Structure 1
Amino acid sequence: MRVRLVSTEPRGGPTVGGAVDWQFAADIGGRLARPAPPATDYTRNQAIDELAAASTAAEPPVRDVTRLSTDGPVPDARIVDRPEWIRAATESMRVMTGGSGDADSASGAKAGAGLKGFVTGRVTGAQTGAVLAFVSSGILGQYDPFGVPGGVLLLVYPNVIAVERQLRVKPADFRLWVCLHEVTHRVQFTANPWLADYMSGALGVLTREGEEDFAGAIGRLGTLVRDRRNGVDGPSSGPNSAGILGVMRAIQSEPQRKALDQLLVLGTLLEGHADHVMDAVGPAVVPSVATIRRRFEERRNRKQSPVQRVLRALLGIDAKMSQYTRGKAFVDQVVGRVGMDRFNAIWTSQDTLPLPEEIDDPQQWIDRVL
């Protein structure tokens, strides 16, 4: 069954973003963020300068390998620390979820929300800030198509310094290697502007309250528990049924499940494509790429403490790691069979994106699209 976007137009009713005090989320996240690794001013300034230069230098080889063309000069990346990334992430999330840019409105002080809305906004803001604080110590870079007009590439220099020390790799090579991946995301979105609208439409379905109320969602969750107890597969069965994704799918409406599938498949494609390009470009411009890749994969697969495993599951980090692996295997196989020029048919429209079942069987996508 083709998974299509039900509607890209905003629907009436409140959004998830309207229930969050985003300013408070940014403030709390900044306070809770772990301190950056110790470094001299020279090391910090060198990392900032090299990352800025690498984000520009990575663009031509990425364009050459992807065969995707973008117009205009290469935009500058923003080199940020952890609190700055948290602030940028909250702004992006606010835009994605339909939250207000007015701090008073976001906290529920307007539109008759009163004290209850204010408290709700602060509570959800604190929760959001705490999650972003946890994530902020691990993210190396991110292309954000939503936070500012035209999108922006963010590179978190304290985390780059921390990981290159942990891996014991050449800093200049590692910084360029990181930029190859993140710049690929920038090229993906700038060469295919429709991708941002497609993501925004799916996110709108997920975050906007539908006709069914919260009681309906709880009822579906109860049905899931009862069916699982009786050995019956419900709507959350399938490749995305494990862990938190399974619970999410169980309590979502059918349009929301379809939108979630869209985002999961698109994320898998984007991450896998970026990893493929990073490896394809790497040997030509990053001399120690083989060592970096091996040690980075070992770091991805290392054992975590029980607390870390729970947090990673709740935040979907392990699902993100699966996206890299499955997505790269898909892109590797398709490009290996038909070449990059024919692979690029995938960016034509939402109808040429892979279906969920095609990610693990690339020949199905080749047969359907090419």
Structure 2
Amino acid sequence: MIDWDLAVNVGAKMAGDGPSVSWEEAADVVGELRGGAERSSPLVREYTGLVAQERTAPVLVVDRRGWLQANVDGFGQVISPLIDKLQEKKGPPSAMAQAVGSRVTGAELGFMLGFLSSKVLGQFDPFYDADGATGRLLLVAPNIVQVERELDVDAHDFRLWVCLHEETHRVQFTAVPWMRDHLWSQMRLIVGEIESDPAKVLGDALKKVGDVLSGRAEGSLIEVFSSPAQREVIDRITGVMSLLEGHADVVMDGVGPEVIPSVERIRARFNDRRKGAGALDRLVRRLLGLEQKMAQYRDGAVFVREVVDKVGMSGFNAVWQGPENLPSKTEIHEPAAWLARVHG
């Protein structure tokens, strides 16, 4: 139903190769990012108190096409139940319908991922489990080089700063092993609730899209096409992702002053970058939900800092004891409510 190879090719063509670098510089960047990820492990462990096994998740320094391929693979894994559901209900499509439809959906997915592949600096994929791995850490070298040049910051400091953020995500999932299964179950709930009748899905979709584009409604395309039951799950996932992203931001800035002399300059300039460059960029970010993603970093970091200020890092770490201790989307904005519920 989806031409995955076409999705990768369309995305790669849209994204381009990134900044021009020599072979020597490319090799230096790859080596420094690998070293930065390894150097970050004990720093994150000491700051957070979370103990994760080392070298259980491979570190891959990739280009934009490599990031695309990794995410296409993951996307196929997540939506496989939906494809099975559609085929069970409607039967296998004709050869012509499959050939045309798969290329259309492949191109659409490629355009979306192509935009993202030029923005993402790093990503921890918790669902990768080949060869006994517990996830994998992806660092997108051309994007890191491009951003450090745009921000005009110290390249070595910036690379370690990015590694600290992404290594924190690795620690979160490997030190808290139930987190992977919890997120996976929530994602499967969303896929399982997807309506397979096109007429019902598209009933008032055009109006909703128009509301999002005009700013009359909050949310992204994902929320536009979701049911009330799915939006409840999305709210739960939003709470978790705000926690994870905010925690990583707090760690990278907390550890930063000890090992990254220019961390304040990097943070100030990077925050400006998160606002988006132009009108078109902001529109695409809004449709893809990236504006909400930026809010997750901000709101999650505020939650973590307020909780740590009240009960210390050890008290905050109660959040990792089980799914029942995770903050809801509402509690992310009301840390006192989470503290009252978990700490009494």
Task: Give, as a single letter, the amino acid of the residue that structure 1 aligns with 2:120.
Answer: I
- Which consecutive segments of 4 or more residues in structure 1 shift more than 6 A? 222-225
**How big is the shift at 1:100?**
10
The answer for the alignment partner of 2:253 in structure 1 is 279
Q: TM-score, normalised by structure 1?
A: 0.82
**How big is the shift at 1:276?**
0.6
The answer for the alignment partner of 2:105 in structure 1 is 124
Aligned pairs (5 A) from 1:342-361: 342-361=315-334
Residue aligned with 1:301, SS: coil
The answer for the alignment partner of 1:146 in structure 2 is 127
Pairing 1:165–2:149 present: yes
Q: TM-score, normalised by structure 2?
A: 0.88
Alpha-carbon distance between aligned partners in 1 of 2:203 and 2:111, rounded to the nearest angstrom: 29
Aligned pairs (5 A) from 1:149-298: 149=130, 150-208=134-192, 210=194, 213-219=197-203, 242-245=217-220, 248-249=222-223, 251-298=225-272
The answer for the alignment partner of 1:369 in structure 2 is 342
Alpha-carbon distance between aligned partners in 1 of 2:336 and 2:148, rounded to the nearest angstrom: 37
**How big is the shift at 1:192?**
1.2
Pairing 1:27–2:9 present: yes
Task: Give, as a single letter, the amino acid of the residue that structure 2 aligns with 1:94.
Answer: G
Residue aligned with 1:49, SS: helix
> Does structure 2 retain, via aligned residues, the 8 Å contact 1:205–1:255?
no
Q: Structure 1 222/172 Cα, relative in aligned 2: closer, same or farther at 3 Å? A: closer
Q: Structure 1 164/248 Cα, relative in aligned 2: closer, same or farther at 3 Å? A: closer
Task: Give, as a single letter, the amino acid of the residue that structure 2 aligns with 1:127.
Answer: E
Residue aligned with 1:154, SS: strand
Residue aligned with 1:97, SS: helix
The answer for the alignment partner of 1:314 in structure 2 is 287
Q: Structure 1 301/212 Cα, relative in aligned 2: closer, same or farther at 3 Å? A: closer
Name the structure where helix makes up a greater proportion of residues.
Answer: 2
Alpha-carbon distance between aligned partners in 2 of 1:355 and 1:45, rounded to the nearest angstrom: 43
Further displaced range: 21-30 or 257-266 = 21-30
> Aligned match of 1:93 in 47, 71, 75?
75
Residue aligned with 1:38, SS: coil
Task: Give, as a single letter, the amino acid of the residue that structure 1 aligns with 2:101.
Answer: T
Corresponding residue pairs, total? 331
Task: Give, as a single letter, the amino acid of the residue that structure 2 aligns with 1:174.
Answer: F
Alpha-carbon distance between aligned partners in 1 of 2:295 and 2:268, rounded to the nearest angstrom: 17
Q: CA deviation digits over 1:109-133, x for unaligned, max 9?
A: x945422123212111111111111
The answer for the alignment partner of 2:65 in structure 1 is 83
Further displaced range: 67-76 or 199-208 = 67-76
Identity %: 40
Alpha-carbon distance between aligned partners in 2 of 1:74 and 1:292, rounded to the nearest angstrom: 30
The answer for the alignment partner of 1:135 in structure 2 is 116
> Aligned match of 1:55 in 27, 37, 60?
37
Alpha-carbon distance between aligned partners in 1 of 2:101 and 2:292, rounded to the nearest angstrom: 29
Task: Give, as a single letter, the amino acid of the residue that structure 2 aligns with 1:125.
Answer: G
In the alignment, structure 2 segments of 5+ residues that lack a partner are none
Note the aligned Cα RMSD (angstroms). Answer: 2.7
Task: Give, as a single letter, the amino acid of the residue that structure 2 aligns with 1:83.
Answer: R
Task: Give, as a single letter, the amino acid of the residue that structure 1 aligns with 2:278.
Answer: S
Alpha-carbon distance between aligned partners in 2 of 1:24 and 1:100, rounded to the nearest angstrom: 20
